[in-house]
A = this chain, B = another copy of it.
Amino acid sequence: MEKLQNGYLFPEIEMRTMAHIETYPDAKLISLGIGDTTQPLPQIVASAMAKHSWGLSTVEGYFGYGPEQGTKALRQAIVDKLYGGLGIKETEIFISDGAQSDISRVQMLLGPNMTIAVQDPSFPAYIDTGVIMGQTGCIEEATGKYGKIEYMECNAENGFFPDLSRTSRTDIIFFCSPNNPTGNAASREQLKQLVEFAKKNGSIIIYDAAYSAFISDDSPRSIFEIPGAEEVAIEISSFSKFAGFTGVRLGWTVVPEELLFSNGVPVMKDFNRIVTTCFNGASNIAQAGGLACLSPDGYQGICQLVGYYKENAKIMMETFSSLGFTTYGGQNSPYVWVHFPGNKSWDIFDEILEKSHIITIPGSGFGPGGEGFIRVSSFGHREDIIEASKRLMNLLQ
């Protein structure tokens, strides 16, 4: 624990925000920071959860412990709706209380002696859970990088896909697409290369697909669209951004039967043991909501939600573009990744907060490769996005 850098990114932002509120108690703060959903759930989804909740006060509607891996109905619905034709089985789906919890459970599965690779920049939980598990060395002040981690540079020059010919072999490769924070979705060709690379090296890919619902083009929504991925990949996903379940808490992880440790033990067997020992299942109310999301009407409702946020992202991209900034992401992702060449991310963060009362995320919080960028989230009410756009036009033009 001592190796961990002072603040986990989000609590640090929270602290600076609280200080700002104290200084400007009357300012109307707009958050384009932490990717937190803001729009009400479709009624069909809320109603399914309300009905389930109320049922718990009746003899016939009461349920105690469910399977730690989630209800069969929800696991099957995920297969049918989201993995159709990919050969994924219901038994390979493990329902969770969200992707963040499953990242740490996957880390418990893997243990301290694994070497890991991460995209740079990347979502901090991969590295931070690695540090907590003891997989890494100490942080080097000069580079801002932890020892024993392979940082795979992802930047505009390489199309946000690492140069695998220069990437060292590791046991584990964390890969997030559409990426948080850059907003870039890897292409089918790129993911084929990644799967090939993992196969050659005997590595396991931990594929974070939490934002896959935001993909607009023909980029794969699942690593399992790539033939052979079932032998090298685990996929972690979530209802949080897909269905506005950030506070309801529901996610899932796919561990294919074909994925084996080097000693021949199926990874699925050990992950099942982790899930049954370290977890007792997601809330059955949340699971009832998840099932409703995957019904025809529910799915239509959550696709509309995703569409709403994508429209917000478009407004933000246009705002920064019209100001002459280069932006990435936003097309296949709720995040817009804005370049401020020659500037420090935290300085940009502080200036935008100080002068426009808008919270963003400093790119350097996602790793040294994020320096000079800020991440702008499109989660918000439309009127706030439009207001933020106006304030940014005033500040940055």
Contacts and interface: CB of A to CB of B under 8 A. Distances in A.
Contacts of A273: 1, 4, 8, 132
A172 to B, nearest CB: 15
Interface string A94-115: 0001101101110011011000
Contacts of A41: 56-57, 62
Contacts of A8: 273, 276-277
**Which of A56, A129, A279 has the largest count of B CB atoms less than 10 A from its CB?**
A56
A394 interface: no
Interface stretch (A43-51, A84-92, A225-233, A352-360): A43-51
A278 B54 CA distance: 31
B270 A1 contact: yes
Interface stretch (A136-144, A246-254, A306-314, A343-351): A246-254
A38 B56 contact: no
A342 interface: no
Contacts of A280: 97-98, 100-101, 240, 246, 249
Contacts of A65: 34, 36, 246-247
Interface stretch (A19-27, A281-289, A316-324, A361-369): A281-289
A281 B62 contact: no
A65 B57 CA distance: 27
Contact of A278 (B40, B104, B270): B104
B53 A46 contact: yes
A102 to B, nearest CB: 10
Which size class do A's interface residues fall under?
35 or more
A281 B247 contact: yes
Nearest to A37: B64
Contact of A285 (B34, B53, B61, B125): B53
A58 B108 CA distance: 38
A285 B48 CA distance: 13
A360 to B, nearest CB: 17
Given A101-B278, A134-B112, A283 B248 contact: yes
Nearest to A261: B1
A238 to B, nearest CB: 10
Interface string A1-40: 1101000101100000000000000000000001011111
A283 B247 contact: yes
Nearest to A11: B276
Given A56-B41, A57-B42, A97 B97 contact: yes
A274 interface: yes
B59 A54 contact: no
A159 interface: no
A62 B36 contact: no
A181 interface: no
A128 interface: yes
B64 A249 contact: no
Contacts of A103: 278
A244 interface: yes
10 contacts: A1-B273, A11-B276, A36-B64, A36-B65, A40-B56, A40-B62, A111-B132, A125-B278, A247-B283, A249-B280
Given A39-B62, A50-B50, 14 more contacts: A1-B111, A1-B270, A1-B273, A8-B277, A10-B276, A49-B53, A56-B248, A64-B244, A100-B280, A104-B108, A111-B132, A112-B112, A112-B134, A282-B283
